[in-house]
Amino acid sequence: MTETGAVVRTEFVDRVEHMDELRSLMADVAEGRDGRALVIDGPSGMGKSALLRAFEAEVAASPGSLRSMDSCRVVSVRCRPSIGSQLHYGAIIDVLLQLAEEQEIRQPGVFRRFLGYTRQGVVRSAPEVLSAMVPGLGALFTLGKEVAEASLASGSMPFDSLLPFQQGAAAQIADAVLDLVRQGPPTVVLIDDIQYGDPSSLLILDRLLRRLPDEPLGLVLSHTTDGAYADGPGAMVEELLHDWAKDGLLRRRALDGLPREAVAELVRSRHPEAPSALSEQLSRLTAGHAVFVTLCLEDWRPDMGPGVDLPDSLKRIVEDRLRLLTEHERELLMIGATQGETFLSRTVAEVKGEPHDDVMERLRLIADRHRLILPAQLPGWARGEASDCYRFEHAALWGVAYDRQTPQQMRSRHARIAAALTSGPLDGMPLERRLEIARHLRNGGSECLLTSAEAHYGLARDAAMEGLSFAEAERHCEEVIKAVRDLPEHEESRDRWLIQAVELLLSLTEVRWRGQHRPAGGPDIDALAAEAEAAARRCGTPELAIRTTLLRGKTLLATQGLVPSLDKLRSAVELAEEHDDPVPLFVARVEYGRQVSKRRLADGLAQLREAERLYASDPRLGGTGDPVLQHARNLGEMQLGITLYDSGHLSEALTRLSRCVQRLRDEPLKAELPIALNYLAQVHTGLGAYEDAEQVLREALDFEAGRGGDSGWHAYNKALLAHLLVQRPEGRDQALELIADAWAETERTWLANLVPIVRNLYAEILLLAAGGPGELLDQADRLAVATCVETQRSGMIRSEIAAHSLRSRILLRQGDTVAAQDQARQAVRILDEVGDMPALRTEEVLYHSAVVLAAGGVREEAHALLERARREVARKADLVTDDPLRDRFLTRVPLNKSIREGEGIGQ
């Protein structure tokens, strides 16, 4: 009847309606019908865990259609409190191991090597266990770890390139669960206390829920809705459950108080001699709260008659029990409660400062004589310790015992428990023990702040790099920052810990910034970056100042737009020049060159050429395998190539990008390969080599599909391929399908610099596919308008120019010549102010503006723009060094041919 796995000495009282719904779900799974996911919601102590256990027992014992080994089976796991939400893949590993164990019974020898991992081994090394059980996952974890290390070390990795590794791992793990399910009978997975679920497991549950209609699988989750879970991990789980229900992926059912007939049955089972009026009195006073009813029945005696002297709260019942103990016994329980619902006798003895033998005996007597604690198995992280283990009979008992302390007693005992659990370096301990120690340090008050920061930072890095568990890592980073902020300002290492934690947290959350100050569920990114920047100034270390200034440039780009970002990135370059260290100078110059290209192409070209010269001339850069430098070199080289293309140097761009792509293909990580292939495809397209462009784009798409998961660059490459296909009559439908998928993926990943580009490509593909006025053109116009609005804030001028140009073409097709001319002039005006832009062909803007103006009868202005477009095409042709390439550029690129012939403008 209780939550958290405690055993109350009474039979389960059948919840008829809910048991019927669980039976119905089992039948749906067995027969392949929909509606195979359910959440049982309710307050703590309402009987959700008891309901799931009773259902599992019924399935195991029932004949016919409910017999688990013949028709259906039940796999039951529980998310653990206190540290459960910080474990990596904890619930899912339990599911995999149970499925594998049953398959081992059916086919001996098949999964024996997997089952060699005990539960303690699982906790200690989740990635290793998963790698052993999921084919191909080990290579993905290894590669993801290397990319994560380079990303977190450099602070400039496009973090989108890491997200696919996490999502790819989730996809492979979900596939492994389903593979095991398919090898046995239809399966229902019961997950108790989902409010404690770790984010990595929840990510896999999301994938499983979306695949239920096609698989012999059902899911039942129990969820505690108490206000205690209103913030922290529980709030995230509640939001996720709400979204799943809204999307129709599961149903939610509330478990309320026991009905009167169930209370009467419970009274009869415990006290057959009790008067009939007792159950009526209990129902009225307790509102059927399961644990409240049970605890009252345990205190009832025959001489009390039908009357129930019910205290005003559950807390009072527990307080009455605690009063039966001596003061010394109560203190032992307070210490035990500080450790948690489950506690060790050795820990209690060390905190109390008494002989362990004496404490063990006293706890044994309490368990024997009072209904408060029960013997329990040692938790996995404590296996091998010479200690007894106990758990409180129910969460209510534990909560009241814990709350009887003063705040300082709690802090002091948490600190002493952390010290008692710490023996040797934290890095060598099982993850679950490190999490347990970190929890006590977190609650240990001011004396533990620095140690808490250190412990949580180590957990954050391990979660990110070992298990690709970024949500867990974020939470640890937030704990580091909270602890460091509370340290005295004179603490010597305060600022360095703050900088490290902020750098890691912002790297982890970068993919979710979405152009907002505060991403969903995340921190105020620019305020954090500014705090780290100020801390670096106080440290007086040039390297830290350069890194945090670069980081601030990135948060400003997301929150305030390109112009403020460029000012900060330029400052980073200037700081690096003053420092006279080639490493930070090279990294800063590459980052500034990449971003300033979006505002002034010539400035970006100059910065990137200087970075290249620096790399080639200084052996401290080119002669090292430093992943930070290697990553910066890759980004700089490909950015220089595409900037040369945008500037009109097509031959040099082709040579450089072809060389860069080939080198990246031979690298083990290939982290930046999709970006380089994107740039190479743009150059091939600009030279009229459409078959080569398509081949390169398909290579990029296949590469990222192999990694799995969403990616902004995957979406961009898909959009470029759709743009190629829409220009063939037979490719129209496929192009529309591809671009819709690309835009959906762009919205999910939301890389600020790619969003307007893909949106503009979407608008142009709709324009090219539309036969005339109608929904396609209307949708294209809405997309272009959205880009115009967004770029006013973001400062992405290249996309703003392209959006105005697109709107002029759309409006002309819709018959609004006047509005079309206004948009055409707007595009040319901005272009004249800023000059050539990346990802934008100047001649294209000029030509389409000329066509729009000519359609409106403004011939002289139209011809002037056409001549400018012709001069631009001629300039680029002169820079093509290969004659066949030049001829193809002039004759096979439809835009260039139209410009040279003056198509659509007339004489």
Closest CA to 133 of 92, 168, 162: 92
The phi-psi region of residue 226 (left if phi > 0; otherwise alpha if psi is between -120 and 50; otherwise beta) is beta
Closest CA to 209 of 38, 458, 362, 414: 38
Closest CA to 298 of 316, 275, 317: 317
For residues 222 and 290, state if they share a domain.
Answer: no
Domain limit, last residue, from 447, 478, 512: 512
Pull the structure tokens for residue 659.
């060389």
Write down the pTM of the prediction.
0.77
| Residue 736 burial (CB count, 10 A) | 18
pLDDT for the residue 122: 42
Whether residue 518 is contained in a domain is answered as no
Cβ contact 651:880 at 8 Å: yes
Task: Round to whole Å and give the CA distance between 292 and 513.
Answer: 46
For residues 358 and 434, state if they share a domain.
Answer: no
For residues 35 and 164, state if they share a domain.
Answer: yes
DSSP 2-52: -STT---SSPPPP-HHHHHHHHHHHHHHHHT-S--EEEEEE-TTSSHHHHH
User: Residues with Cβ < 8 Å from 123, sequence gap 6 or more?
Assistant: 87, 90, 380, 381, 430, 431, 432
Alpha-carbon dihedral sign for residues 416, 418, 419, 421: positive
Cβ contact 589:607 at 8 Å: yes
Number of structural domains (the chain) is: 4
Burial 423-439 (b: 16+ CB within 10 A, else e): eeeeeebbbbbbbbbbb
State the alpha helices, DSSP H only, in 252-382.
260-270, 277-286, 290-299, 314-322, 327-339, 345-352, 356-369
Pull the structure tokens for residue 636.
């700089």
Task: Round to whole Å and give the CA distance between 222 and 691.
Answer: 54
Look up tokens 């920061």; give the residue: 453
pLDDT per position as a tens digit, 465-518: 776 777 788 889 999 999 999 999 889 899 999 999 998 888 877 766 765 544
For residues 268 and 217, state if they share a domain.
Answer: no
Whether residue 159 is contained in a domain is answered as yes
Look up tokens 């206000």; give the residue: 227
Cβ contact 175:215 at 8 Å: no
Geometric angle at alpha carbon 112, from 111 and 114, rounded to 5°: 70
For residues 452 and 478, state if they share a domain.
Answer: yes
Task: Round to whole Å and give the CA distance between 419 and 417.
Answer: 5
> What angle do helix axes 431-442 and 407-421 make, rounded to 10 degrees?
150
Geometric angle at alpha carbon 850, from 847 and 851, rounded to 5°: 90
Coil vs helix vs strand at 541: coil
For residues 99 and 145, state if they share a domain.
Answer: yes
Task: Round to whole Å and give the CA distance between 83 and 433.
Answer: 9
pLDDT per position as a tens digit, 389-422: 999 877 667 878 898 899 999 999 999 999 999 9
pLDDT for the residue 124: 44
Look up tokens 């009474």; give the residue: 10
Amino acid at 714: H
Closest CA to 55 of 23, 27, 29: 23
Pull the structure tokens for residue 327.
């003061």
For residues 167 and 231, state if they share a domain.
Answer: yes
Q: 328 φ, ψ to 5°?
A: -65, -40
Low-confidence spans in the chain with pLDDT less than 50: 1-11, 64-70, 84-85, 110, 117-124, 159, 228-231, 517-519
Alpha-carbon dihedral sign for residues 695, 700, 704, 706: positive
> What angle do helix axes 199-211 and 470-486 make, rounded to 10 degrees?
150
Cβ contact 197:95 at 8 Å: no
Whether residue 686 is contained in a domain is answered as no
> What angle do helix axes 842-855 and 797-813 make, rounded to 10 degrees?
30
Coil vs helix vs strand at 310: coil
Q: What is the 3-state secondary structure (H, E, C) of 224-260?
A: ECCHHHCCCHHHHHHHHHHHHHHCCCCEEEECCCCCH
Look up tokens 């980052």; give the residue: 591
Whether residue 532 is contained in a domain is answered as no
Q: 106 φ, ψ to 5°?
A: -75, -40
Pairing of strands 73-78, 187-192: parallel
For residues 269 and 198, state if they share a domain.
Answer: no
Cβ contact 217:36 at 8 Å: yes
For residues 72 and 128, state if they share a domain.
Answer: yes
818 bridge partner residues:
none
Coil vs helix vs strand at 187: strand
Whether residue 877 is contained in a domain is answered as no
Whether residue 798 is contained in a domain is answered as no
For residues 267 and 208, state if they share a domain.
Answer: no
> What angle do helix axes 883-891 and 894-901 make, rounded to 10 degrees?
70
User: Residues with Cβ < 8 Å from 820, sequence gap 6 or more?
Assistant: 807, 808, 809, 810, 811, 812, 852, 855, 856
For residues 175 and 265, state if they share a domain.
Answer: no
Task: Round to whole Å and give the CA distance between 755 and 741.
Answer: 14
pLDDT for the residue 67: 42
Coil vs helix vs strand at 135: coil
Cβ contact 503:473 at 8 Å: no
Range of the domain at 393: 324-405
Cα→Cα distances 845→433, 836, 841, 866, 877, Å: 62, 11, 7, 10, 18
Cβ contact 372:366 at 8 Å: yes
Cβ contact 37:251 at 8 Å: yes
Closest CA to 567 of 556, 578, 583, 577: 556
Whether residue 107 is contained in a domain is answered as yes
- Half-sphere exposure (CA, 13 Å, Cβ side) for 368? 6
Pull the structure tokens for residue 822.
């206004």
Alpha-carbon dihedral sign for residues 410, 231, 475, 565: negative
254 bridge partner residues:
41
Coil vs helix vs strand at 222: strand
For residues 210 and 288, state if they share a domain.
Answer: no
| Residue 142 burial (CB count, 10 A) | 13
Domain limit, last residue, from 374, 405, 436: 405
Domain limit, last residue, from 377, 405, 433: 405
CATH classification at residue 129: 3.40.50.300
Pairing of strands 251-254, 217-224: unpaired
Task: Round to whole Å and give the CA distance between 307 and 322.
Answer: 23
Sheet containing 217-224: give its strands across: 73-78, 187-192, 217-224, 37-42, 251-254
State the alpha helices, DSSP H only, in 687-816.
690-707, 712-725, 732-749, 755-769, 775-794, 797-813
Whether residue 244 is contained in a domain is answered as yes
Task: Round to whole Å and give the CA distance between 767 and 781.
Answer: 9
Closest CA to 612 of 639, 578, 575: 639
